[in-house]
Amino acid sequence: MDDTRRSFLKIAGLSMLGFGAKPVVDAVAGTGDPKFEKDSKAFNGKRWAMVVDQQKCLKAKEGCKDCVTACNSAHNIPEFNNPKDEIKWIWQTSFEHAFPGQENPYLDEYIKKSLKGLPFMVLCNHCDNPPCVRVCPVQATFRRPDGIVVMDYHRCIGCRFCMAACPYGARNLNWRDPRPFIKKENPEYPTRTRGVVEKCNFCSELLAVGKMPACVDACKDKALVFGDLEDPNSEVRELLRSRPTIQRKPQLGTRPQIYYIL
């Protein structure tokens, strides 16, 4: 055999090159690796927001709770009939609770009285500067690039920091197993379990398949308007341009994205 050290090194070098080339070839050849994609029907908003036209809402039929019912059944929200355990994503509250500190002390008594107790629809404000996201120690709550503040229930440890941080009371803890208290389960959407916090998700699961949020869809008076703030031709932009609106507790700097037309 005339194998020299030289030829041995040649062969060894070539075979090492072969090992090194494998990942490169794999990457270029584009083997059938699985991919993750968005639904082609999905709405691709850049900054989702909602305008609540309270004038329309107040003119609606007495005791209308269409949006609340639609939300509850879409998201398997339990009804405990006990305010301590209550879970709510969108709910009705009175003016003085929704907008504390917004009236000046010289306001006419008559107007003051008429405002007091006026029902307002409130929900998670999907803040631009969400305090709940800042305090969450496990990043279970996070802000998506399209502005929706969502929860990853898989991660939530139930510490309730977010509930303490949220100035709008938009978050609730499941103190008890919610399942027995769900009137009719929606088989398309999961429930939650005991010990996780939950809140409105702007129906991100519906937006992902090209549907409007359940509450917006359910409102027959068209009082809830949902749309993309970055789209200058959207309905929300038109309303915000042409009508004076207020937000809840803007002084806190959370930059809430639910606007109210009074």
Partner 1 sequence: MYNAGKIIIGIVIFLALITAPFWYNLGRPSAPPKLEIGTQEKQCVESKAFMQAKHMVLLDQWRDEVVRDGKRIYVNSTGKQFNMSLQNTCTKCHSSKTKFCDRCHTYLNVAPNCWDCHIAPKEQEKLAGRSDK
| Interface region with partner 1, contact rule CB under 8 A, candidates 15-23, 30-38, 81-89, 98-106 | 30-38
Identify the helix (H) or strand (E) that includes residue 74. helix 66-74
Q: Does residue number 204 form part of the binding site for partner 1 (CB under 8 A)? A: yes
Residues with Cβ within 8 Å of residue 27, at least 6 apart in sequence: none
CB of 130 to partner 1, least distance (A): 16
Q: Does residue number 137 form part of the binding site for partner 1 (CB under 8 A)? A: no
Q: Give the one residue of 64, 77, 136, 150 binding partner 1; rule: CB under 8 A.
A: 150
Q: Does residue number 190 form part of the binding site for partner 1 (CB under 8 A)? A: yes
CB of 185 to partner 1, least distance (A): 6
Sites for partner 1 among residues 80-119 (CB under 8 A): none
Q: Give the one residue of 2, 3, 33, 108 binding partner 1; rule: CB under 8 A.
A: 33
What is the residue whose two structure tokens read 């009705």? Answer: 92
Q: Which residues pair with 224 in a beta bridge?
A: 52
**What string marks each residue from 39 to 68 as x (binds partner 1 by CB under 8 A) or -?**
x--x--------------------------
Q: Give the one residue of 193, 210, 231, 253 binding partner 1; rule: CB under 8 A.
A: 193
- For residue 189, count CB atoms less than 10 angstroms from its CB and return exposed for 0-12, middle for 13-18, buried for 19 or more: middle
CB of 23 to partner 1, least distance (A): 18
* Strand-strand pairing, 258-261 and 245-246: antiparallel
8 A C-beta contact, residue 31 and residue 219:
no
Q: Does residue number 30 form part of the binding site for partner 1 (CB under 8 A)? A: no
8 A C-beta contact, residue 133 and residue 161:
no
8 A C-beta contact, residue 216 and residue 226:
yes
Of 172, 177, 173, 182, nearest to 194 by C-alpha is 177
To 10 degrees, the CA torsion angle through 219, 88, 200, 211? -30
* Strand-strand pairing, 224-228 and 197-198: unpaired
Q: Does residue number 26 form part of the binding site for partner 1 (CB under 8 A)? A: no
Q: Give the one residue of 58, 60, 142, 169 binding partner 1; rule: CB under 8 A.
A: 142
| Interface region with partner 1, contact rule CB under 8 A, candidates 79-87, 185-193, 212-220, 248-256 | 185-193
- In the complex, which residues of this chain contact partner 1 (CB under 8 A)? 31-39, 42, 76, 142, 144, 146, 150, 152-154, 177, 179, 185, 187-193, 204, 208-209
